[in-house]
Structure 1
Amino acid sequence: MRATSRPVKFVSGAVRAPGDKSCSHRALMMAAVAEGSTTVSGLLEGEDVINTARAVAALGAGVERLGAGVWRVEGVGRRGLTAPNSDIDFGNSGTGARLMMGLAAGHDLTARFVGDESLSSRPMERVLRPLREMGLVAETAPGGRLPVRLTGGRLKAVRYAPPEASAQVKSAILLAGLRASGVTIVEEKEATRDHTERMLRAFGVEVGVELRDGAGPIVSIRGGQDLRAGEATVAGDPSSAAFALTAGLIAGGEAAVSGMLDNVTRTGFMTAAREMGADVTILPDGLATGEATVRAIARGSALRGVRLDPALVPSMIDELPIFAVLASFAEGETLVTGAAELRVKESDRIRAICAMLSANGVEVEELADGFRIRGCGSRGVPGGGLVEARHDHRIAMSALVMGAAAQASVSVDDVDMIATSYPEFFEHMAFLGTDLTRADR
């Protein structure tokens, strides 16, 4: 299905951020290996997370949907996960596949992980390398990609320094460390999102964090700890909230998002937007499991280009496509570097971002590890283009938000994959007053 976004005079309204995708995956996985029954509220019910729910069920956990965003998981506890009866399909979810490799590594089972065409083109060796050091046996398709056949069992603790800043690599190692003998240590190159550490603590696990100047933290976990079942609430996703907030900033009016996760490892977009001159108010809005939440209010703003600090990139890696849209409406040049990780997302996101902007009259230069955008400022973004989504939900949503404030409509060739991360996207955008239509291709 394709979609078109037409310019509007302003947006207005308030929506609640959908459950954070990263936290939703982790809540299901930790509940699956806890002792007893856990009720998870606020779970994102996108395709990626549903595939993780199916995966933990296939590995022996009891999983039941009780209502909208409310799920009950019967954990396997010390019994351990069990071998599935068939392949486990993660669809398009790199987070689900990579973290589950770590979770399954310390259990006495053999499983084959598969995914869709997009996921099967993405690298898995960065996760499997340290897991093999711990004792996992894993066979991959050529190039270190899915399908992956893994055999878990007894693991030994490792001290590992990932060559890249990756919360997925760190998290997979920590989850494997739950069943390893000894203390597993991860030395981070740069600080990455710490939802795994926070949620492990909420489930009763001791996690050590040693902060360092000039480098990321050293994170440690002692094997053999039990996870306590209970109640878990998932905070709202700041990566999804960025779409509504950007609509408010570029289309004018006011857009508010409540229940949004407030975590320093995820606030890069808000920091960068404010550096551009964005009028954004942040107010306390309660607590979720392991996380504080806030209400963010964005108002139409005159934006200026910035040279993005590469240190901010890990805390806004998923928001860089919508940040590029924001930069397109700014006055002057915006430079983003240090974002080579975008090359191995659902698409080559650097190339996809540049193609999206070029198709709509924005001057952009592709760099090896980022991009340079010459914002349209008071001239306005021309729009009028057809954007190739490249099976990437964030490119599709970013293009549609652009269309709300461009001079002419913006179309996207495929929007079906938006449901992987933000099933309520079209509903929320309509509530804010954008003009989006969908039609069969």
Structure 2
Amino acid sequence: MSNLQDKKNNTLTITAKPSNKVSGNILVPGDKSCSHRSIMFGALAEGTTHISGFLPGQDCLATMNTFKAMGIEIEGPDSEHNVTVHGKGLHGLSKPEALLDIGNSGTSIRLLSGILAGQRFETRMAGDNSLNKRPMGRVITPLQLMGANITAASDGTPPVVCSGLAADEKLNAIDYLLPMASAQVKSCVLLAGMYANGTTSVTEPGITRDHTERMLTAFGYPVKSIETEQGKKISIEGGHKLTACDIQVPGDISSATFFMVAGLIAKEGQITIRNVGMNPTRIGAINILQQMNGKILVTNERLAGGEPVADLVVSSSPLKGIDIDERDVPLAIDEFPAIFIAAACATGITRLRGAEELRVKESDRIQAMADGLVELGIDCTVYPDGIDITGGQLTSGTVESHDDHRIAMSFAISSLRATGEITILECDNVATSFPNFVALANQVGLTLIPNN
């Protein structure tokens, strides 16, 4: 089982001391979504793929190790975060010798389900305690409609078992309307579509991140999309191939959001965050924070590896509470814990609705953030699909991160406006998405002390 399986092993606590000023010019780690996909598509491509800017966090390393276990030769990451993947084509994977340990990565297990559904060998996947509580029915249902032999536990959670297809079997193409706006489900079905007879289509009711479509195109696999009355319809025809290429991973906007909020809530100062991915399906956090009166200047816009990137100049700002536009929710779904800290430091009430997806992340992020904010003196009202946060004075206290890296990092940056020390429990999983977070935060002016 995962070495993170036993909660008792999570011993890292972070003590965050109050600070007033931030300053600096920083780079955040590579985008996690792009890093996952670069390994997956590189492994399934014909030829050798070179990746720069790869995120060496535990989630992405779990994806890498999974493909190594299925016979793919991968070199790196080196000290410059370069990775080389020697692909074997769509049908070049081999049966792993043991259960695939996915660690804490929901992206890995859901996208891999689509890839493994089209293989001719059996695989089993599971992860740590947090991952093994996450719902898999949302990907298993469409895969079963495609004829995949895939199951989960009786409650719809991992382990996931793909029994494999017979020698003369192929998946069936489907036309699938997503029941929720989810990039992971969309990507899972599209990846399975590469192994299907005919054209598989996915219609999304709301905009979701499109890294899969962009990277499939970069690897030479044709993808079509049209706008329909029900939403955007993305189609992929089975039987084409992926061709190896060079991938430059942009900086992760989810990681950048912690420093955007830090720059905004600090009493004084300015932070420049360079090379941030500006994919239009991911910029909800910038939209929301700017609507809250946040001073975020987007400069030096350019393209890198098929993805738009820019530098962000963030200045201390008097934030105000807003009603968050539900159209921005899927564009900022991973960034809401940090946005909640901005709301706690704003004047007035910030209201979020339509975000029930937050309850099935690494933790129930609505409840986890509400509990921590209340502990720190902030008034919150929780709803099934959202929260109301009344801005006020953050105090001191001890908060539970519930092994959720984004909860831990969000409360760490809240110390910029706290009256005393904040102790954050169970922070080991910060390494899953942002290995050098503590060092970078201290570099720009925070005072974070990790304690094992």
Distance 1:204 1:191 in 2: 23
Total equivalences in the alignment: 435
Report if aligned partners of 2:56, 2:77 keep a CA contact under 8 Å in 1.
no
DSSP-derived class of the 1:331 partner: coil
DSSP-derived class of the 1:211 partner: strand
Distance 1:199 1:337 in 2: 31
Matched residue, 2:369 = 353
Report if aligned partners of 2:25, 2:273 keep a CA contact under 8 Å in 1.
yes
Matched residue, 1:7 = 18
Residue 248 (str. 1) matches residue 259 (str. 2): no
Task: Please show how residues 142-157 of structure 1 align to structure 2 within 5 Å.
Answer: 142-153=154-165, 154-157=170-173
Matched residue, 1:220 = 235
Matched residue, 2:413 = 401
Matched to 1:425, the amino acid is: F
Residue 437 (str. 1) matches residue 452 (str. 2): no
* Shift, 1:62, TM fit: 1.2
Residue 290 (str. 1) matches residue 306 (str. 2): yes
Residue 278 (str. 1) matches residue 266 (str. 2): no
Distance 1:109 1:285 in 2: 45
Matched residue, 2:437 = 425
Alignment partner of 1:39 out of 50, 53, 56: 50
Distance 1:243 1:198 in 2: 26
* Shift, 1:437, TM fit: 0.7
Alignment partner of 2:341 out of 317, 325, 330: 325
Alignment partner of 2:352 out of 327, 336, 339: 336
Distance 1:285 1:61 in 2: 35
Matched residue, 1:303 = 319
RMSD over aligned Cα, in angstroms?
1.1
Where does structure 1 lack aligned partners over 5 or more consecutive residues? none
Matched residue, 1:88 = 100
* Shift, 1:288, TM fit: 2.2
Report if aligned partners of 2:344, 2:394 keep a CA contact under 8 Å in 1.
no
Report if aligned partners of 2:27, 2:273 keep a CA contact under 8 Å in 1.
yes
* Shift, 1:108, TM fit: 1.3
Where does structure 2 lack aligned partners over 5 or more consecutive residues? 1-11
Could you state the TM-score of these two structures normalised by the residue count of structure 2?
Answer: 0.94
Report if aligned partners of 1:81, 1:109 keep a CA contact under 8 Å in 2.
no
Alignment partner of 1:367 out of 372, 383, 394: 383
Alignment partner of 2:189 out of 173, 184, 196: 173
Could you state the TM-score of these two structures normalised by the residue count of structure 1?
Answer: 0.97
Matched to 2:173, the amino acid is: A
Distance 2:301 2:163 in 1: 44
DSSP-derived class of the 2:255 partner: helix
When structure 1 is superposed on structure 2, of 79-88 and 301-310 the one drifting more is 79-88
Report if aligned partners of 1:80, 1:107 keep a CA contact under 8 Å in 2.
no
Distance 2:215 2:225 in 1: 14
Alignment partner of 1:260 out of 276, 288, 294: 276
Distance 1:92 1:59 in 2: 19
Report if aligned partners of 1:81, 1:108 keep a CA contact under 8 Å in 2.
no
Report if aligned partners of 2:90, 2:242 keep a CA contact under 8 Å in 1.
no
Residue 232 (str. 1) matches residue 253 (str. 2): no
* Shift, 1:290, TM fit: 2.1
Task: Please show how residues 188-203 of structure 1 align to structure 2 within 5 Å.
Answer: 188-203=204-219
* Shift, 1:134, TM fit: 1.1
Task: Please show how residues 74-113 of structure 1 align to structure 2 within 5 Å.
Answer: 74-113=86-125
* Shift, 1:39, TM fit: 0.9
Distance 2:164 2:282 in 1: 32
Distance 2:24 2:290 in 1: 21
Instruction: Render the CA deviation track for 1:138-190: whole Å, top value 9, x for unaligned.
Output: 12212111111102332111100111111000000011111111000001111
